[in-house]
Amino acid sequence: DTAMKDLMNKIHVMRAISPASVADNTAQVSQIIDRQGFESLTFAIATGSLADADATFTVLVEHGDAANLSDAAAVDDADLLGTEALASFAFGDDDETRKIGYIGNKRYTRLTITPSANASAALVAAVAILGHPQIVPTPNPPV
């Protein structure tokens, strides 16, 4: 049954962190993701080469009710699927992926990846996958 196998028309993928080469400890802050019209959200993180031999990359998910996230607060563990620790990564995690889900009730969220002890090129990117839409199919290409 094609309908059972159709994930594409039931998700909306948005840019969170554009692919970037980070050669210092500058936090990579995602776009603010608006969940209106969707009941679920998962952030997917992709790494490329992580050159520094002792770098770590810590993940933080924040949420709020203001469109500009002026009221941003760290998401309680109870409102996450998976943990920020499991979504974080280190220098040995080249060419891997991580994921973390949000099940809280705030409309706006963002993801931050903060490098530590990073002095060489680290390639990172992230997308937000919105699911359980109120209207299907979702637009393709996503807008």
Q: What is the DSSP string of 96-110?
A: -EEEEEE-SS-SEEE
Q: Backbone dihedral region of 105: left (phi > 0), alpha (psi from -120 to 50 degrees) or beta?
A: alpha
Give the predicted TM-score (pTM) of the model.
0.95
Length of the chain in residues, anyone? 143
Cβ burial, residue 53 (10 Å; 0-12/13-18/19+): exposed
Q: What is the structure's pLDDT at 78?
A: 97
Cβ burial, residue 29 (10 Å; 0-12/13-18/19+): middle
Cβ burial, residue 14 (10 Å; 0-12/13-18/19+): middle
Q: What is the structure's pLDDT at 135?
A: 94
Quick check: 85 pLDDT over 90?
Answer: yes
Mean pLDDT for the stretch of residues 115-124: 96
Quick check: 1 pLDDT over 80?
Answer: no
Q: What is the structure's pLDDT at 7?
A: 94
Q: How far is CA 58 from the centre of its chain?
A: 12
Mean pLDDT for the stretch of residues 45-52: 95
Q: How far is CA 127 from the centre of its chain?
A: 5
Quick check: 57 pLDDT over 80?
Answer: yes
99: its two tokens: 């994921």
Q: What is the structure's pLDDT at 2?
A: 78
Q: What is the structure's pLDDT at 69?
A: 98
At residue 107, what are phi and psi to the nearest 5 degrees? -75, -35
Quick check: 143 pLDDT over 90?
Answer: no
Computed from CA positions of residues 47, 11, 59, 29, in that sequence, does the dihedral angle turn out positive or negative?
A: positive
